[in-house]
Structure 1
Amino acid sequence: MMGEGDSTGTGVAGGLGAAAWRRGAGVAGAAVGVLAAGAAVGVAAERLTVGRGMRRKARLALDSTCPYGTLRGTPGTAVTDDGTELYYEVDEVDEPGDRRGSRFFGRRRAAPPVTVVFSHGYCLNQDSWHFQRAALRGAVRMVFWDQRSHGRSGRGSTPGVSIDLLGRDLKAVIDAAAPEGPLVLVGHSMGGMTTMALAAHFPELIDGRVVGAAFVGTSSGRLSEVTYGLPAAGMSVIRRTVLPGAFKLMTAQTALVERGRRAGSEIVGGVIKRYSFGSRDVDPAVARFAERMIEATPVDVVAEFYPAFAEHDKIEALCAFDDRPVLVLAGEKDMITPATHSQAIAEALPDAGFVVVPGAGHLVMLEQPAAVNEHLNEVLAAVSPLHGGSARPAFEDDARQSGQRGPGACPG
């Protein structure tokens, strides 16, 4: 295959025509980028049976009519220790005369309001929480932010990226957007890892202000063992021989690979649908919405962030959340951060609620938003000041009754 030759990123231009090499390198880089973001190489069946022109018209129609990612709040900027500017938005609680909050808490709100901080995943942006934002809008104060080099945030000022760095970024956002009052931290995939890093570096913040948390489709470590649905031996070879060269190409020839990614955008769309969602029946507009978020992440950012996941190990940091309502939720068919990784988090926090959403993939909050919203609502009801923070979510009771959980990793 052309992609196999191009993945080394060195000495191949002379052996192929420049145009052919550019196309091959771009498609190879795009495929690796989507693999790193939560996919693996594959093409949906309809790509083989529907004409290119028809597919292009359908994509343009979805782009022009898709309502997802259109919700906006009050913008703000947090500045990190290294000077990177992080973009965030705040959705405030409705005025006291508005009774929308009763849908979630069952009674009137009291000060200080709980602020829910949403952290998105790798190669996504804050708009990935569209359905949760729409459901909770006006009922609770919310902060949405774009991780460094993602979305509307600035490119990172520090060479290289680590999950620990992202945890410090989250602290900067909290300091700017929610400097006081109780917090609920919600993170998907890389966003959940960011939350763990925050706990590792700022345990006093968790102890003093965080009243609840939700870890959605994420992992506390051992990500180098994930095979993305491929045979373990084959994935090991890819990690050793293909990814280093591909990432080198994505960093050294960014413009070239970006052109190739755009040329292979229809293939990327099939990849995302296959590996980010558990069902083939996902709304085409939702699938296209996810595709556009991943497309918007520069390929050199994809390459820069990916090595950080192999170093991520925050199982001990989870103990900071041991005595408060915590939701651990995974998609049953998630091949990016498999449900077994969420189970490991739940075993470290035996009082946490562990929910596996049947049939859902990695982007569970987009694919089955009603299920995610329902369980987030239970956490918010449990931490509402009007309940004294004493109510226990129903999923926690179910988890304890199941008798399938381990003894936990936290003392006491």
Structure 2
Amino acid sequence: MPTPPPVPTIPPLSGPPPPGSRTVRTDDGIDLHVELDGDADAPLTVVLSHGFTARLAEWQLQRAALKDRARLVLWDQRGHGRSGWTPLTQATIDRTGRDLGQVLDAVAPTGPVVLAGHSMGGMSVLALARRRPELFGDRVVGVFLLATSAGGLVETGVLGRLVALIRRTGLLPLYLRGVQLVAPVLERFRWRGSPLGRWFTRRQLFGRDDADPARVALVQRLLEETPYPVVAAFYATFLDHDETTALEVLRRVPVTVVAGTHDRLTPAGHGRRIAEAVGAELVVVPGAGHSVNLTRAAVVDRAFLELLDRLDEAPRRAG
């Protein structure tokens, strides 16, 4: 079994934003929290997009590994971390992809960029590729996708059959509205840090042999910072998530895909399909779960740095 990475120190959400923070206001009036790190004069910018119900702090280990190689931009997706909330109708992957583009325009308007995304963050990268394909191959010169999917997450198993039945009967909007109405009530009685929450975190976000109590507790704390209404509002977008048309756009640039063999949320098959479709470098991490960036940081960091090495060796156009 590989030696686990150190458990990162995650800065709390309370208190003032850390140095190097900025606010980017979207075209629909949502304030997005953005942090800058690394070499401000570096020729390359790396933009890191976090996963569902997490925040930018989940990249803490990669932040340390990358800051000597690039200017870093990290941001909290709407409804997460320090970013503002959004109307229910705007809690979609399409909207977070648009947000990513506006962060890029605001804090990295020129020069070459690598986009990295974990889980929902990777989906946001794909949504941006579909919405603004002209950026890829010119401004965006590389992509790093971690434990993510281009679509089809709810197609099989009991949940897949249930959702299919609800869709056929035309009750999906009613079902999702019910979930949204119940969420605030559940939030009032929520028990953060509970043993049940720890068990759920261990089962869903960790793999066969990559969990230890401190790391599970850290991930549980990160995920439980996101209120249930936020979770419920975004839930619908995963049922309908399909960004397969964006994969053709990604073929224009070097791409690395990392997948864990024991990822229950975005199974490794989803990463393999992306890699095959775009001709990407595929890194499959044996025994790892969804939180592979925190549990197998050495593997993830090495794959990321190798992608940057490939870009250094390739001719580059910077818009």
Which bin holds the TM-score, normalised by the shorter protein? Answer: 0.7 to 0.9
Check if 1:306 corresponds to 2:212: no
Contact 1:82 1:157 in 2 (8 A): no
Indicate the larger mover: 264-273 or 293-302: 264-273
The answer on whether the counterparts of 1:211 and 1:324 sit within 8 Å (CA) in structure 2 is yes
Please, what TM-score do these two structures have when normalized by structure 1?
Answer: 0.68
| Residues 1:179 and 1:259: Cα distance change in structure 2 (over 3 Å) | same
Would the aligned equivalents of 2:88 and 2:233 in 1 still touch at CA under 8 Å? no
Cα 1:280–1:379 change in 2 (3 A) is closer
Is 1:357 paired with 2:279?
no
- Percent identity reads 42
How far apart, in 2, do the equivalents of 1:245 and 1:266 lie?
32
Mapped contact 1:276–1:334 kept (Cα < 8 A)? yes
Shift of 1:254: 4.0
Match of 1:88 in 2: 34
- One-letter amino acid of the counterpart of residue 119, structure 1: S
Q: Which one of 9, 19, 22 corresponds to residue 68 of structure 1?
A: 9
In structure 2, the residue matched to 1:24 is none
Instruction: Supply the AA of the counterpart residue of 2:23.
Output: T
| Contact 2:45–2:70 (8 Å) recurs in 1 | yes
Code of the aligned partner of 2:77: Q
DSSP-derived class of the 1:292 partner: helix
Q: 1:371 to 1:175 in 2, by over 3 A?
A: same
Give the whole-Å Cα distance in 1 for the aligned partners of 2:278 and 2:220: 34
- Within-5 A mapping of 1:141-152: 141-152=71-82
Structure 2: 5+ residue runs without aligned partners?
Answer: 1-6, 13-17, 167-171
Check whether the contact 1:75–1:88 (CA below 8 A) recurs between aligned residues.
yes
**Higher mean Cα deviation, 191-200 or 69-78?**
69-78
Q: TM-score, normalised by structure 2?
A: 0.86
Q: Is the 8 A contact 1:185 1:195 kept in 2?
A: yes
- Once the two structures are TM-superposed, the CA of residue 316 in structure 1 deviates from its matched residue by 1.9
Distance in 2, matches of 1:389 and 1:126, equals 31
One-letter identity of the residue aligned with 1:68: T
- Cα distance in 2, alignment partners of residues 388 and 233 from structure 1: 46
The runs of at least 4 consecutive aligned structure 1 residues that moved more than 4 Å come to: 238-241, 243-250
Which moves more between the two structures, 68-77 or 340-349? 68-77
* Rg larger in structure: 1
Letter in 2 for 1:307: A
Over aligned residues, Cα RMSD in angstroms? Answer: 2.5
Deviations 1:306-329 (A, max 9, x none): 111122211121222213221011
Q: Deviations over 1:257-311 (max 9, x none)?
A: 0243317822011110112010355232221111011111110111110111122
Please list every run of 5 or more consecutive structure 1 residues that lacks an aligned counterpart in the other structure. Answer: 1-65, 95-110, 227-231, 391-412
SS at match of 1:184: strand
Aligned residues: 301
Secondary structure of the residue aligned to 1:88 is: strand
**Equivalences for 1:274-353 in 2 at 5 Å?**
274-280=203-209, 282-350=211-279, 352-353=280-281
Residue-by-residue CA offset, 1:327-382 (whole Å, 9 max, x unaligned): 011001011111111111011112x1011101000111011111000000001111
Contact kept, 8 Å, 1:250 with 1:299, in 2: the verdict is no
1:124 maps onto 2:54 in alignment:
yes
Please tell me whether residue 154 in structure 1 is matched to residue 84 in structure 2: yes
For 2:75 and 2:25, the matched residues in 1 are separated by: 12
Q: Which residue of 2 aligns with 1:14?
A: none
